[in-house]
Amino acid sequence: MRKVFPILLIGCLSMFFAEVFSGASQSWFINGWGILITFPLYLCHVLFFLWIALKFKKTSLYQLYLLGVIFALYESWITKVLWAGYINSAGPGIGAIFGIAIPEFLILVFFWHPIMSFILPILVFEVLTKKAIIKHKPILKKTRKKTILIILFLFLVSTFIANGNNFDIISSNLSVVGTLLLISGLYYMSRKTDIKLFEFNKRSFTIVFIYLFILYVGTFFLLLPERIPHTIAPYISIIIFYIVIIYLILKSKTVGTKLININKDQYSSRDLITFAFVIILALNIANIWPSISHVLLIVTYYALVIIGTIIFIVTIWKNLKKAILQKYKK
């Protein structure tokens, strides 16, 4: 039972940043689909890729980012968004290249899932438990500039939440506050743990793997079957991405899983409480002026498309640069 609450906590954090922040899930904790399908999907993806990171000591931010890119590719097999565009849309936002939906692929694979669904829940879990992997110390260092950027991001992303809840102030607040209360309760039960708890034994990992395999196969054929591609190009594009990213992860150096205690220089649970109040305030402001919020949403969306693409390119370049330098030294 000791592991149950931390497991549920990191799953709720992934749901919060990925689904609630995007506005895709409204009050998921009182919704059958949210509890039985969406939550287990995010929970098991986080557990699966975090286990890999810890087991093989690939825990640097850029390694977690690459694992998060693989995480994001579920959007092709399960929701088919990376092929057919967002659910309820007529098709890809601005068309497709080699069978891949643009800009959906760029924002989901290069930014949203790697950072919001995977990296951010891990970092926040570390802050809450006051122990972090040593490689994460720089990103958790508290600075005025970083705090301002976080607050700005929260105000901008609040437009996603408001829009996803159709600018219904009650629904929006219920989604955010309800999830925050769940996180608070689970945090209270998970204080005496740390991120290494997720380095499960092989049996537990196998169970998660089997669940994901059944989920991928089952939803591919049963969920929105009309969105399944009938040409080979989309499949080839996605499979090539898997191969390239897995190759980069395997070639990257192991960095270890040593933990350090978070000190006063790093962000704390008190800072997280402040950010929670900020997102609630921003959300209510966003609901008051829907027309302004909608404009900000569009600008933010395409800004994240560009930012995500830059992050991906820089990550790949740094990875390849290190590999070339190592080969040259030999």
| CA separation, residue 240 to residues 55, 233, 236, 246 (Å) | 25, 11, 6, 10
Over the stretch 205-255, which tens digit does the pLDDT of each residue have? 999 999 999 999 999 999 999 999 999 999 999 999 999 999 999 988 899
Whether residue 108 has pLDDT greater than 60: yes
Distance CA 120, CA 13 (A): 8
Cβ atoms of 272 and 147 closer than 8 Å: no
Which is nearest to 262 in space by CA: 95, 120, 127?
127
Q: Residue written as tokens 């395409």?
A: 302
Distance CA 190, CA 183 (A): 10
Mean pLDDT over 59-69 rounds to: 96
What's the pLDDT at 329?
63
Which is nearest to 130 in space by CA: 266, 254, 312, 11?
266
Query: One-letter amino acid identity for 164?
Result: G
Q: Return the minimum-mean-pLDDT range out of 46-55, 62-71, 90-99, 279-288.
A: 90-99
